């Protein structure tokens, strides 16, 4: 039996609050003569998860008063044709932010596509220029998922200074930038960070030391109760579709954390769904508004 009272880090409520603020800022920016933020999204092939993610980004643009463009391409589009499309978007002054939904088909290089985006329109924050600026602590478009998690910690006034943060997973889009942001001299931030991956020895011992665990592994229920110290804060990035015969669809979404068994040990935890995923869209929209401000000729 554990004594700490768990609080849910509610992505839905937090995202609603932040989106309301973005909507207000956008209206004020336009009223001052600034340009309407415009996000252009590219989707290649018909991966149902990508369709769902892009669909919700476009709907959020409408909700916030942004313009949007959605371009769809068949799975067999060549890399050169896709790069050409990105160059057109780079040259189109109406567009402030460009996102190419990943994953791409195997014959197209993610790096080539990311590098082709104008860094001034890199609202996903994946371009090497954005990464470089982030590492140096300069003004940068932060990758949307870590940015969303930082917004969540800030929203709940969680003081991470001096905490030990264990990030499990080191992808370029989630784990590595999150480790960096948590270690920066900022609030949230100022944590001591351990970045774990497939070759980490004694992962359980590392996790047991953590005041904050960020789980970004892509394995359902990977972080179990015996890996979590009492009172820990858990941010679960994972989105995994598992079989569930009790559901009409036969499937359900779970995170990288064994939520049901871990939750009572935590001081704070994000649910899946309804946690980090909703914050990712906020990060993207914050970047797009910022890009529109950069592209407007007003103070
Ligand atoms: P990647 O597959 O790119 O990275 C997974 C990371 O986990 C790798 O660094 C890998 O290590 C590490 N890993 C894998 N197995 C182990 C293990 N047994 N022990 C320790 N580390 C391990 O995934 P992403 O970062 O792109 O995504 C992670 C999860 O988050 C996925 O479920 C994805 O769907 C979800 N996601 C959710 C988002 C959201 O908005 N909520 C946004 C993006 C992703 P190594 O480097 O050694 O291979």
Structural domain contains residue 164: yes
Q: Kindly name the residue from 19, 57, 121, 265 that is annotated as catalytic.
A: 57
Mean pLDDT of 168-174: 97
> Do both 151 and 251 map to the same domain?
yes
Band (26; pLDDT cuts 50, 70, 90): very high
Structural domain contains residue 43: yes
Please indicate whether residue 223, judged by its CB atom, sits closer than 6 Å to ligand 1.
no
Mean pLDDT of 68-72: 97
By alpha-carbon position, which residue is closest to atom 48 of ligand 1? Answer: 198
Q: Kindly name the residue from 96, 124, 236, 258 that is annotated as catalytic.
A: 124
Structural domain contains residue 24: no
Q: How many CB atoms lie within 10 A of CB 15?
A: 24
Query: How many structural domains are present in the chain?
Result: 2
Structural domain contains residue 7: no
> Do both 179 and 269 map to the same domain?
yes
CA distances from 214 to 82, 163, 178, 255 (A): 34, 13, 8, 11
**How far is the C-alpha of 108 from the C-alpha of 115, rounded, in Å?**
13
> Do both 115 and 181 map to the same domain?
no
Q: Kindly name the residue from 10, 19, 96, 101 that is annotated as catalytic.
A: 101
Give the pairing of strands 240-243 and 251-254.
Answer: antiparallel
Structural domain contains residue 290: no
> Do both 175 and 49 map to the same domain?
no
Name the nearest CA neighbour of 60 among 229, 256, 278: 278
Name the nearest CA neighbour of 174 among 51, 55, 276: 276
> Do both 113 and 174 map to the same domain?
no
Residue 248 a catalytic site member = no
Structural domain contains residue 259: yes
From 197, 213, 235, mutation site for ligand 1 pocket: most ligand atoms within 8 A of C-beta: 197
By alpha-carbon position, which residue is closest to atom 12 of ligand 1? Answer: 169
By alpha-carbon position, which residue is closest to atom 25 of ligand 1? Answer: 171
Residue 291: pLDDT above 80?
A: yes
Instruction: Give pLDDT tens digits for 233-246.
Output: 999 999 999 999 99
Please indicate whether residue 166, judged by its CB atom, sits closer than 6 Å to ligand 1.
no
> Do both 155 and 261 map to the same domain?
yes
Residue 57 a catalytic site member = yes
What is the DSSP secondary structure assignment for residue 263, as one 8-state letter?
A: G
Please indicate whether residue 145, judged by its CB atom, sits closer than 6 Å to ligand 1.
yes
Instruction: Give pLDDT tens digits for 175-230.
Output: 999 999 999 999 999 999 999 999 999 999 999 999 999 999 999 999 999 999 99
pTM of the model: 0.96
Instruction: Give pLDDT tens digits for 35-56.
Output: 999 999 999 999 999 999 999 9
> Do both 43 and 105 map to the same domain?
yes
Residue 209 a catalytic site member = no
Structural domain contains residue 151: yes
Mean pLDDT of 261-268: 97
CATH number of the domain encompassing residue 52: 3.40.50.10860
**Virtual torsion, Cα 195, 15, 140, 117, nearest 10 deg:** 100
What's the confidence (pLDDT) of residue 3? 53
Residue range(s) defining the domain that contains residue 191 = 144-278
Give Cβ neighbours of residue 59 (< 8 Å, ≥ 6 apart).
Answer: none
Query: Which class for 51: exposed (0-12), middle (13-18), buried (19 or more C-beta within 10 A)?
Result: middle
């Amino acid at each position: 039996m554990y004594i700490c009272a768990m609080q849910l880090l509610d992505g839905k409520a937090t995202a609603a609050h932040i989106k309301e603020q973005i909507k207000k800022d956008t209206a004020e920016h336009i009223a001052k003569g600034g340009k309407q933020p415009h996000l252009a999204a590219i989707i290649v092939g018909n991966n149902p998860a990508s369709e769902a993610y892009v669909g919700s980004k476009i709907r959020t643009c409408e909700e916030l008063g942004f313009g949007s463009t959605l371009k769809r391409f068949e799975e067999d589009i060549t890399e050169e044709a896709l790069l050409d499309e990105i160059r057109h978007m780079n040259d189109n002054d109406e567009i402030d932010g460009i996102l190419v939904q990943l994953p791409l088909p195997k014959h197209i290089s993610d790096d080539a596509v990311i590098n082709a985006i104008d860094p001034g329109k890199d609202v996903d924050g994946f371009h090497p220029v954005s990464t470089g600026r982030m590492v140096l602590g300069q003004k940068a478009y932060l990758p949307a998922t870590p940015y969303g998690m930082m917004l969540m910690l800030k929203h709940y006034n969680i003081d991470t200074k001096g905490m030990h943060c264990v990030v499990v997973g080191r992808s370029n889009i989630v784990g590595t930038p999150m480790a960096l942001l948590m270690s920066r001299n900022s609030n949230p931030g100022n944590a001591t960070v351990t970045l774990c991956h497939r070759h980490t020895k004694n992962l359980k011992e590392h996790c047991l030391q953590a005041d904050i665990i960020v789980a970004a592994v892509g394995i359902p229920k990977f972080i179990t109760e015996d890996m979590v110290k009492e009172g820990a804060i858990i941010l679960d990035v994972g989105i995994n579709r598992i079989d569930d015969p009790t559901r009409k669809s036969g499937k359900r979404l779970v995170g990288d954390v064994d939520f049901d068994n871990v939750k009572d040990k935590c001081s704070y935890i994000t649910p899946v769904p309804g946690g980090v995923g909703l914050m990712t869209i906020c990060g993207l929209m914050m970047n797009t508004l910022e890009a529109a401000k950069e592209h407007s000729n007003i103070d």
